[in-house]
A and B are shown apart, each in its own frame.
Chain A
Amino acid sequence: MGNQKLYKGSLQTIILKLLESNDKMYGYEITQKVKELTKGELKITEGALYPALHKLEADGLLDVEVAKVGNRLRKYYKLTESGSKETANKLAEMQEFLKTMQHLVNPKFSLE
């Protein structure tokens, strides 16, 4: 739980990666998927999730679609073409970051 601050800067990358693997998702589903994948280590609050989604939407990286599900409407997010490109860039940046951190915190076991 103490790691939440470390994850904060990566929220957009996490969302983009999830949407790359799942075609389209809605807000609640994203929070649950992250909880499931990280075995409860990372819990995205709605206060952090929606501003991040709205920013990605405003930047043209996400598109939205509204559909009727059961008794209510649901807003789905999916990647746009530029969103797919940005996902690849963000993931490459993340790999670089992880490699650098590996060098810094554990030089003996670094890959190079």
Chain B
Amino acid sequence: MELTKEQIQQVERYLDKKNFDFIDLKVEVLDHMVSDIESFLVNNYTFENAFKITVLKWDKHFKDTSSFYFGLQYYESKIVVKKAIKIFRPFYFIYLSAYFLPILFLKNTSIIFPKKTIYLLNGFLNLITAVFLIYLIFIMVKVIKSKVKTTYRFILRTQYLGMIFLVIPLFIGNHFNDKGNLNAVFTGFLFGGFAVTYICHHFYKKHKEAIKKYQIS
């Protein structure tokens, strides 16, 4: 037994009340809830009773939660955070490796660069860092302007603090210590910043793809 347009709108209103407006998830959650209600109607339940039972079953998935992967200050519905963790986990390890591997490498090696090369390398690294930073700010502005919520947008919002990894080395300007070695901590920052930019680029692309895919009516 299929639900009427008005009955489906009632389920949608419940989701809106829960602030569950992530377009990449809403389609399937709404469809699943409606299918649940329809299965009760087949067994002679009234719509009101079927709706109540279904809401009781789904309510726990809309409770706000956070995760260590994104920072405990970022809250969203459990179902959104669960999806975000599943898709973000491999990138989290890229990010950690990008930060720690250069530090470990540079702490255990001693490559001394001549003064002339240091001058050129500093210029090159500052230029690259500036380009990455500008691109990251560009993504940030685009995502803030985009009012459509997707799980990818939630992930992006949690990554902006990573910008600090690009700002600090750029602000310091010198990537080498007095002996002519690459500064391990700043290099870690730099690679961490590159990783954050890559991650934001990836999820911004996914965010745009999701909008294209789900914004049909």
Q: Could you tell me which A residues sit within 8 Å of B by CB distance?
A: 26-28, 46-47, 50-51, 54-55, 58, 64, 66, 68-75
Q: Is the interface of A mostly helix, strand, loop or mixed?
A: mixed
CB distance A54 to B86 under 8 Å?
Answer: yes
Q: Across the interface, name the chain B residue whose C-beta is closest to A31.
A: B32
Q: How many residues of B contact A (CB 8 A)?
A: 26
B31 touches A51 (CB 8 A): no
Nearest B residue to A48, CB-CB: B82
User: Do residues A46 and B61 form an inter-chain contact, with CB atoms below 8 A?
Assistant: yes
Residue of B with least CB distance to A69? B31
Q: A50-B83, A54-B82, A73-B27 are in contact. List 7 more A-B contacts (CB 8 A).
A: A47-B61, A47-B82, A50-B28, A51-B82, A51-B83, A71-B2, A72-B8
Roughly how many angstroms separate A70 CA and B38 CA in the complex, as a whole number? 13
Closest A residue to B5 by beta carbon equals: A71
> What would 15 A/B residue contacts be, using CB atoms closer than 8 Å?
A26-B31, A28-B36, A46-B32, A46-B58, A47-B61, A47-B79, A54-B86, A58-B86, A58-B87, A64-B213, A66-B216, A71-B4, A72-B30, A73-B27, A74-B31
Residues on A with C-beta less than 8 A from B30 are 72-73
